Amino acid sequence: MLTRLLRPADDADGVPDSVLTLTAIILLLRPLDVWWLAPFVLAAACLSLILRPVRRAPLTWVLVAVLVAIRIVYVWPLSDNHIYLLAYWCLAMGLALSGPIPAATLSASSRWLLGAAFAMAVLWKAVLSPDYVDGRFFRVTLLTDERFADASLVFGGLSRDQMAVNRKFLEPLPEGAELLEPPAFVEPPRLRAFSAIATWGGLVLEALVALLSLIPAEGRIQLARHASLLLFCATTYALAPVAGFGWLLATMGLAQCRPGQRTLRGAYAAVFILILLYSEIPWAGVLAGWAAR
């Protein structure tokens, strides 16, 4: 058993090096925030980038999965969702690399993991959260979450003064209380439209990814699956401040590409870089600055 976990998987088995490399890069780009775990994960990521036998050894990824799982337990319940997905993904890579048909196993694991994660997300948004489909979530978030503020100014047509007034309006009162003269609330039609597009665009795209991932079919369905995932990553992470999630999804999508699908592989690599640019370039802030001049 240990020999199997230590033995690097052959290239002939087809798990692309790019999938393993990008996963290691994700670990480096967003290190775990627990000091006594982070050095080991970073070391494993560095070694796997430098040394091919480490990169292709199942044990590397099983160990990383265990370290990520320890982090989840240690900070429970504060971890973001994609940290759980990262743990599942590293475990899936370790198990796939130790099996007889690594590439096919990893591709199937990726599809089922994505299908399950997106199905859960759709369940929450469409059924379990009363404040999503009625638009409240994005109407409030676009105004109160600083990370979306610049996008609200650019696409919602708000001024900074109006934003400040709206934030004042959205400050809570004790239950049952009501102000005699509540502050004004300014919601231009463009902002309302922006929040509706974010609400329904996100839900439809996520439902599409979930559905197409859970249908175990090839051919056109497979292409549609890739197209929906690429579109989701390219649009969502322009605004959503969780680049680590986007990188993980792109890497998992890449793992589902067959060896001959060079264009698709290139598209996933491009989306990975695009999400990197989204996260490092404050493009909405620059646009908001220009618009305010």
Partner 1 sequence: MFARTAGLSPWKGGGFGMFSTTDDAGRRHVRVFVSAPERSEEIAISPSLEDAARRAAVWPTDAALSRLARRVVEREGRYRRPVDTVRIETWRIKYAPDTLAATTSLMRDFVYRVDETPAPRR
Give the interface with partner 1 as residue ranges (CB under 8 A). Answer: 72, 76-81, 84, 117-118, 120-121, 124-125, 128-129, 131-132, 134, 136-137, 139-141, 145, 169-177, 182, 185, 202, 240, 242
**What whole-number distance in Å separates Cα of residue 293 and Cα of residue 289?**
7
Residue 80 or 280 with smaller CB distance to partner 1: 80
CB atoms inside a 10 Å sphere around CB 215: 13
Min separation Cβ 146 and partner 1, Å: 10
Asked whether 86 and 248 are in contact (CB, 8 A), the reply is: yes
Token representation of residue 146? 């600083």
Find out whether the peptide bond into 77 is cis, omega within 30 degrees of 0: yes
Min separation Cβ 265 and partner 1, Å: 27
Residue 48 or 251 with smaller CB distance to partner 1: 251
Residue 121 or 274 with smaller CB distance to partner 1: 121
Residue 79 or 213 with smaller CB distance to partner 1: 79
Min separation Cβ 89 and partner 1, Å: 13
- Within 8 A by CB and 6+ apart from 186, the residues are 158, 162, 165, 166
**What whole-number distance in Å separates Cα of residue 194 and Cα of residue 181?**
28
Token representation of residue 104? 């096919």
Residue 15 or 212 with smaller CB distance to partner 1: 212
Find out whether the peptide bond into 241 is cis, omega within 30 degrees of 0: no
Residue 137 or 278 with smaller CB distance to partner 1: 137
Min separation Cβ 71 and partner 1, Å: 12
- In angstroms, the Cα distances linking 79 to 72, 73, 160, 222 are 6, 9, 32, 32
Min separation Cβ 70 and partner 1, Å: 15
Residue 139 or 226 with smaller CB distance to partner 1: 139
Min separation Cβ 199 and partner 1, Å: 10
Min separation Cβ 121 and partner 1, Å: 5
**What whole-number distance in Å separates Cα of residue 49 and Cα of residue 195?**
41
- In angstroms, the Cα distances linking 250 to 7, 108, 142, 253, 271 are 27, 15, 25, 5, 7
